[in-house]
Amino acid sequence: MSGAIRIAPSILSADLTRLADQVRAVLEGGADWLHVDVMDGRFVPNLTFGANIVAALRKLTDRPIDVHLMVVEPERYIDPMADAGASVCTFHPEATIHVQRQLAAIRQRGMLAGLALNPASPLALVEDVVSDLDLLLVMTVNPGFGGQSYLPAATEKIQRARALLQARRSRAFLEVDGGIGPETIAAAHAAGADTFVAGNAIFGSPDPARQVRELRQRCAVQV
Ligand code: DX5
Ligand code: ZN
């Protein structure tokens, strides 16, 4: 893969007692997007942020805010996220009955529309809506928590996802999320990912800005 890549720090792993400082640090390091993990305690066994955090982040930056909805009935969150200033809105296809309707609703609200696939969820779940997608997120861990290890089987799935997008002449972003760090990002990039979420690797470091730069550099490494 060549071309532009995006690094999207996940604030799930940030020190929330000093969120603004942490966000400024990653922006200074060149973070392209900010990734916000919205969990409802139902779709995943954890509870995190709502639209109020997106609105707070929007006051800190003009850069895209990438909302990852790990919730049942994502349709209930589309308007609140748009109103709060989200730029990208991604949900899981198992979480709603009318997937295409929600993708269209997200675009209608001026956001980029994304679908996320769990490790066990097949690419077939998105095949019939590729033209409705601005982003495809291949989960490289089971969603719910930061700090988990990259699942090696994901690399081949990223390759198949890239092949699907190419076959359909889709220009959707291909994002990966979970266990992305200096040791795993090059393989995901070589497999065809172009947008990289990282939580623990960035905010678990004493120098988050440097880690953003490091991750970007690692994408230039041949694997
Ligand atoms: C996991 C979330 C991820 C998480 C990634 O459910 O979707 O965005 O923050 O964290 P790391 O990079 O620590 O695996
Ligand atoms: Zn995420």
Q: State the amino acid at position 195 in one-letter form.
A: T
- Centre of ligand 2 to C-alpha 53, Å, is 15
135-139 vs 195-198, strand pairing mode: unpaired
Closest ligand 1 atom to residue 202 Cα is: 12
Q: Where are the beta strands (DSSP E) in the chain?
A: 6-9, 34-39, 65-70, 88-91, 112-117, 135-139, 173-177, 195-198
- Centre of ligand 1 to C-alpha 196, Å, is 10
pLDDT tens track, the chain, 223 positions: 457 999 999 999 999 999 999 999 999 999 999 999 999 999 999 999 999 999 999 999 999 999 999 999 999 999 999 999 999 999 999 999 999 999 999 999 999 999 999 999 999 999 999 999 999 999 999 999 999 999 999 999 999 999 999 999 999 999 999 999 999 999 999 999 999 999 999 999 999 999 999 999 999 877 7
- b/e for 63-98, b at 16 or more Cβ within 10 A? bbbbbbbbbbebbebbebbbebbbbbbbbbbebbee
Closest ligand 1 atom to residue 140 Cα is: 14
Q: State the amino acid at position 27 in one-letter form.
A: L
**Residues taking part in catalysis:** 37, 177
Closest ligand 1 atom to residue 204 Cα is: 13
Ligand 1 interacting residues, C-beta cut-off 6 A: 10, 12-13, 35, 37, 68, 141, 143-148, 177-180, 197-201
Q: Which of 117, 94, 108, 99 is nearest to 175 (CA)?
A: 117
Give the side-chain half-sphere CA count within 13 A for 15: 13
Q: What pLDDT shows up at residue 220?
A: 84
Would you state the structure tokens that stand for residue 64, as one six-digit string? 């895209």
